Chain A
Amino acid sequence: ELKVEQNPLFLSMQEGKNYTIYCNYSTTSDRLYWYRQDPGKSLESLFVLLSNGAVKQEGRLMASLDTKARLSTLHITAAVHDLSATYFCAVDMKGSNYKLTFGKGTLLTVNP
């Protein structure tokens, strides 16, 4: 059974600071995804990481994937209030091309 663990689950940070969210998964995977969810809204795709060493950046967010360590990170640079949201990582298990297993999510609050 594929398990996906995120930490921290809650993150309160000040504007301008840097921080990293970690996503560990338990079995070999083809792909790793990062999603953002604003309160009361649905999930929005941020990044798709397809291979070992993959790095994607969008604005103040950068995601990376280490398939050997079964670890992905979402790094936040110089946080701003607009980044406040819940961030989910999701993994699909090798050989299962359709199903994603999600982490529990990290609730990020960026304070002025």
Chain B
Amino acid sequence: DVKVTQSSRYLVKRTGEKVFLECVQDMDHENMFWYRQDPGLGLRLIYFSYDVKMKEKGDIPEGYSVSREKKERFSLILESASTNQTSMYLCASSSDGADLGARRAYEQYFGPGTRLTVT
């Protein structure tokens, strides 16, 4: 089974702090994603990465950056946390299909989520 883990389930930070959210997957997946989930807005993609050291902006990258130094780990960084970044953050990973075939390729597997509160 695919396992995606996130460093914290709950996190409370103060405005202006630098915040690191870590995500690790154990299935050798090429692609990794960071989403935020807010009531009434669904899931919105912040950043994704399709290879080590590669990243692309999603729909709402402002105020965030990411780092992928190793294939299994994808970090989300809030450079200076603000109250409007209070949210549930979900990490996901997927294969590019080379070894799984089309049926399971690109299917995203999600971590348990980190509920971040910025005060």
Contacts and interface: CB of A to CB of B under 8 A. Distances in A.
Interface in B76-119: 90, 92, 94, 96, 102-104, 106-113
Contacts of B60: none
B106 A31 contact: yes
A33 B107 contact: yes
A102 B43 contact: yes
Contact of B107 (A42, A48, A88): A48
Interface string A68-107: 0000000000000000000010101000011111111100
Interface residue tally on B, bucketed by range: 20 to 34
Contacts of B107: 33, 45, 48
Most chain B beta-carbon contacts within 10 A, residue among A35, A42, A92, A104: A42
B52 interface: no
B19 interface: no
Interface of B: 31, 33, 40-45, 48, 50, 58, 90, 92, 94, 96, 102-104, 106-113
Interface of A: 30-31, 33, 35, 41-45, 48, 50, 88, 90, 92, 97-105
